[in-house]
Amino acid sequence: LGQTVGIAVVGLGYWGPNLLRNFAETPGARVVAGCDARAELLERQRARYPAIRFVSRYEELLTDPEVDAIALATPAATHEAMAEAALRAGKHVLVEKPIATSSAGARRLIEAARVVSRVLMVGHTFEYNPAVLRLREVVQGASFGRPVYAYTTRVNLGQIRDDVNAMWNLAPHDISILLFLFGEPPVAVSANGKAFVRPQQEDVVFVYLEFPSGAVAHVHVSWLDPSKVRRVTVVGERQMAVYDDLDAEAKLRIYDKGVDQQVIPHEGGLYDYALRLRAGDIVCPQIPWKEPLLLECAHFVECVSRGERPRTDGENGLRVTRVLEAAQESLRAQGRRVSV
């Protein structure tokens, strides 16, 4: 037991219980505590996990020697302060996305983790998703050709957060995926959006990203949409790929691209002339499935045990935050292009 990592999960609303369940099944981990200020949420989890201690005050965890690591599933606005307190108390930290609500905040966390030599990891779950890992292999493979263009749609009718707008709530996933696929951060972004339900909190946001390679991407997030969509499309020079998280049968589709050159002479510019593209074969690879959050939890525990740097480390979290920050600035400037 001396070898296992003692975990405390903080924030037991929507996402925290998923962390509880997955850390409970992670080899090498032991969930020792859960924390939330809301008594009824503590009660609900106590009934499920009688062996776990549930507390209402965060400070108790910081001084608890059984707690080696803290997983934060609290509102975005609290991430920086709570993660910093945990690191200063010598705890390893897994913080939900976004790592912080400003790049300055993300940098402070990176520095705090460096000082105490603790693991700082951000919960960019999709970078642990087997379908996204396979998508990256496809996109970076030789037969795909250079990726030229990607777009993501993450919309549904659901919870409207009051701490952040739809972009800060939903787009961290998409930006993390895009950076993971393209292997580089964007150089500039442009964003537009609109607040309907509450003042100043955009419910619908569109972000356009330009990458150094010349590729571009577009992110559409909304929590005011009739249908739930979770989709990423990547177009390469020779192939295209669609990752649809909600397609039970074929999460990933890879399209060959054919080109038919229609050699219709172009007389005097007056009549139509076309280069015709057509889809070729479609392949939907079978992807051995594991719950991404379980893989994420296992990676965190491994990094803590071995003193290694996680794949989604503080720098990764910072890169995503910088994009969001630039996009927020563009939002305020009505779509003006902002360098990252």
Positions 42 through 71 that interact with a second copy (CB under 8 A): 47-48, 50-51, 58
As beta bridge partners, residue 242 has 233, 253
Tell which positions 107-126 bind a second copy, by CB under 8 A: none
Convert residues 127-156 into a mask of x (bound to a second copy by CB under 8 A) and - (unbound). ---------------------xx-x-----
Enter the tokens of residue 125: 């779950």
Give least dist CB 102 to a second copy, A.
16
Surface-to-core class of residue 297, CB atoms within 10 Å of its CB (0-12 exposed, 13-18 middle, 19+ buried): buried
Question: Which of 257, 305, 309, 340 is the binder for a second copy (CB under 8 A)?
Answer: 257
Output the CA torsion sign for 321, 325, 331, 336: negative
Question: In this complex, which beta carbon is closest to a second copy, that of residue 115 or of residue 246?
Answer: 246
Dihedral over Cα of 125, 307, 5, 53: its sign: negative
- Return the structure tokens found at 248: 């039970």
Q: How many chain residues bind a second copy (CB under 8 A)?
A: 90
Residue closer to a second copy, measured from CB, 3 or 227: 227
- Binding of a second copy at residue 290 (CB under 8 A)? no
Q: Which one of residues 3, 142, 227, 263 is an interface residue with a second copy (CB under 8 A)?
A: 227
Q: Dihedral, CA atoms, 321, 326, 330, 331, nearest 10 degrees?
A: 10
Give the other-Cβ count within 10 Å of 168's Cβ. 24
Show the tokens assigned to 52: 């776990």
The yes or no reply on residue 194 touching a second copy (CB under 8 A) is: yes
Contact stretch for a second copy (CB under 8 A) within 84-92, 106-114, 135-143, 193-201: 193-201
Of 116 and 145, nearer to a second copy (C-beta) is 145
